[in-house]
Amino acid sequence: MKHLICQSCGLPFSGKFMGTNRNNTKNDEYCLSCFDNGEFVDHSLTMHSLEVKLVEMAEVHNEITLEEAQSVIKNLPYLKRWHMSIM
C-alpha cells in the first residue's frame, strides 16, 4: 500500500486515512487528522505549535521516535500548508 506524506503535519498516511474534501471525495495531500470536509481541522495551528506537538509525540507519547520527529520538523517549511507562510 502506498504511503502518502501529509502536506500539513508531514507524517506518512495511507489511503484509508486521507482527508476529505467538501464534496466528500478523498484528498491525497492531507491526512484526515489535519484536513476534513474541505478545511483544516485546526485553523489556529502554527508551524511552531506543530513542532512542539511532534516532539511531544516522540518524548511523551512514544508515537514516533525523536529522530523521526526531528526529520519531519526539518521538512515542515517545504510542505504545501507551510511553504507560502515562509515566503
Q: How confident is the model at residue 85 (pLDDT cuts 50, 70, 90)?
A: low
- pLDDT reported for residue 29: 97
For 30-63, give the secondary structure using H, E and C.
Answer: EECCCEECCEECCCCCCHHHHHHHHHHHHHCCCC
Q: Is the pLDDT of residue 78 over 60?
A: yes
Range 13-38 average pLDDT: 96
In contact, 27 and 20? CB cutoff 8 Å? yes
> Total structural domains in the chain?
1
pLDDT in tens, 60-77: 999 999 999 999 999 999
As a whole number, the mean pLDDT across the chain is 93
Residue numbers of the domain that contains 31: 4-86
pLDDT band at 3 (very low <50, low <70, confident <90, very high): confident
